[in-house]
């Protein structure tokens, strides 16, 4: 049995500039961090000549073309897998649609399992690019490249997205003390809403393709905030990083009317009045997780608990997509 896993992610600055509609004209930049919450894939050779696929539903088919799940179908086709007599199962620590990049994590873990089955060694960049080929090109999802790349690489990583589709990746140059403080002071709270990123990103994507001046200016500003966040983190200035998160969130809300709502805004304001230096909704928006940088953590936790929000504690993941069993 083959078991693989891919980490979920949080975005630390520059998010949204990884969509082709933006970076092919202006180049993109962002910082993302992988966390120790995972998507798992198991791959098992079965005795009977059929494909058994288990996710939120179950499929039993005889050929790849019959598979309903689009990512699994395209991943099998891309890797040239001889599909019959396989059982594919997926599990996750946190459900999909919560803003932590689960789709990119799922695709990279799936591809890693298929490559392991075929005894192929694959570099993280190649794995990420294959996941992007499936999600962006074959399935035409209006999403960016951040999730696939940070899942494959892991760590706290800077990414530059070039107009010719090349992606540069390098680890953030951060001291051990800053790393520990950052990990300790970033808090995640689940808003209880699950949603698909595609609907919200579609609006951003279409406006970028039309060269909408407001959207382009917004993304230029957010890209510059990403670079400032990099400088603040590398200098160990976490208070400045927290402030930049708040500035980022105020600008991010302008991208779409679906980005936030009154309840999310109220929770955010409550957090800012109770020890948070800055924060934002993780992912495309509309629900999922609120993330805050706070020094007064106990006060913030108490306030969020009183609002009925559940905290999900995490550590950073530095391994990226990996094989657990082969």
The 10s digit of each residue's pLDDT in 64-101 is 999 999 999 999 999 998 777 999 999 999 988 888 99
pLDDT band at 254, cuts 50/70/90? confident
119-176 pLDDT tens trace: 999 999 999 999 999 999 999 998 999 999 999 999 999 999 999 999 999 999 999 9
Residue 280: CB atoms within 10 A of its CB come to 28
- Using a 10 angstrom Cβ sphere, with 0-12 exposed, 13-18 middle and 19 or more buried, the burial of residue 291 is buried
pLDDT for res 195: 59
Q: Which residue in 62, 109, 57 sits closest to 83, CA to CA?
A: 62
Residues of the chain by 3-state class (helix, strand, coil), percent to 5: 45, 25, 30
Q: Are 269 and 275 in contact (CB under 8 A)?
A: no
| Weakest mean pLDDT among 191-200, 211-220, 303-312, 317-326 | 191-200
Structure-token pair, residue 207: 């406006």
Whether 287 shows a pLDDT value over 90: the answer reads no
For the stretch 98-107, pLDDT in tens is 889 999 999 9
Residue 307 has pLDDT above 60, yes or no: yes
pLDDT over threshold 70, residue 280:
yes
pTM assigned to the model: 0.94
Buried b vs exposed e over 298-308: b needs ≥16 C-beta within 10 Å?
A: eebbebbeeee
Distances from the Cα of 148 to the Cα of 58, 73, 154, 183, angstroms: 25, 18, 10, 22
Please give the Cα distance from 57 to 147 (Å, whole number). 24
Overall average pLDDT of the 205-231 stretch: 86
Per DSSP, what are the bridge partners of residue 292?
Answer: 187, 279
If 0-12 CB within 10 Å is exposed, 13-18 middle and 19+ buried, where does residue 180 land? exposed
Per-residue pLDDT reduced to its tens digit, 29-42: 999 999 999 999 99
pLDDT of residue 142: 86
Q: Is 282 left (phi over 0), alpha (psi -120 to 50) or beta?
A: beta
What is the rounded distance in angstroms from the CA atom of residue 22 to the CA atom of residue 211?
A: 9
| pLDDT, averaged across the chain | 93
Structure tokens at 315: 């550590």
* Domains located in the chain, CATH noted: 2-174+317-325 (3.30.230.10), 176-312 (3.30.70.890)
How far apart CA 221 and CA 182 sit, in angstroms, is 24
pLDDT on residue 260: 83
Count of beta carbons in the 10 Å neighbourhood of residue 186? 23
Inter-residue contact 18 to 158 (CB < 8 Å): no
Q: Are 31 and 146 in contact (CB under 8 A)?
A: no
pLDDT attached to residue 146: 97
């Amino acid at each position: 049995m083959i078991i693989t896993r891919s980490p979920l992610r949080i975005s630390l600055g520059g998010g949204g500039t990884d969509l082709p509609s933006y970076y092919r004209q202006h180049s993109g930049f962002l910082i993302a961090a992988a966390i120790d919450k995972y998507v798992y894939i198991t791959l098992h050779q079965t005795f009977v000549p059929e494909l058994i696929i288990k996710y939120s539903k179950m499929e039993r088919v005889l050929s790849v073309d019959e598979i309903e799940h689009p990512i699994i179908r395209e991943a099998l086709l891309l890797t040239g897998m001889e599909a019959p007599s396989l059982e594919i199962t997926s599990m996750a620590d946190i459900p999909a649609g919560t803003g932590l990049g689960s789709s990119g994590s799922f695709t990279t873990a799936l591809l890693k399992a298929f490559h392991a089955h075929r005894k192929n060694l694959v570099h993280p960049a190649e794995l990420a690019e294959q996941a992007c080929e499936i999600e962006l090109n074959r399935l035409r999802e209006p999403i960016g490249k951040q999730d696939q790349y940070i899942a494959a690489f892991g760590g706290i990583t800077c990414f530059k997205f070039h107009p010719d589709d090349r992606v540069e990746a390098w680890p953030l140059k951060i001291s051990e003390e800053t790393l520990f403080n950052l990990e300790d002071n970033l808090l995640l709270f689940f808003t209880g809403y699950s949603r698909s990123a595609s609907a919200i990103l579609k609006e951003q994507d279409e406006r970028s393709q039309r060269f909408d001046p407001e959207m382009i200016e917004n993304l230029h500003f957010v890209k510059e905030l990403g670079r400032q966040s990099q400088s603040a983190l590398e200098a160990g200035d976490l208070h400045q990083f927290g402030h930049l998160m708040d500035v980022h969130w105020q600008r991010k809300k302008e991208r779409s009317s679906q980005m936030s709502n009154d309840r999310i805004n109220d929770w955010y304001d409550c957090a800012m009045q109770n020890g948070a230096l800055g924060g934002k909704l993780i992912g495309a928006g509309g629900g999922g997780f609120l993330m805050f940088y706070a020094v007064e953590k106990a006060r913030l936790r108490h306030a969020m608990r009183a609002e009925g929000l559940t905290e999900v504690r995490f550590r950073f993941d530095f391994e990226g997509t990996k094989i657990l069993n082969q």
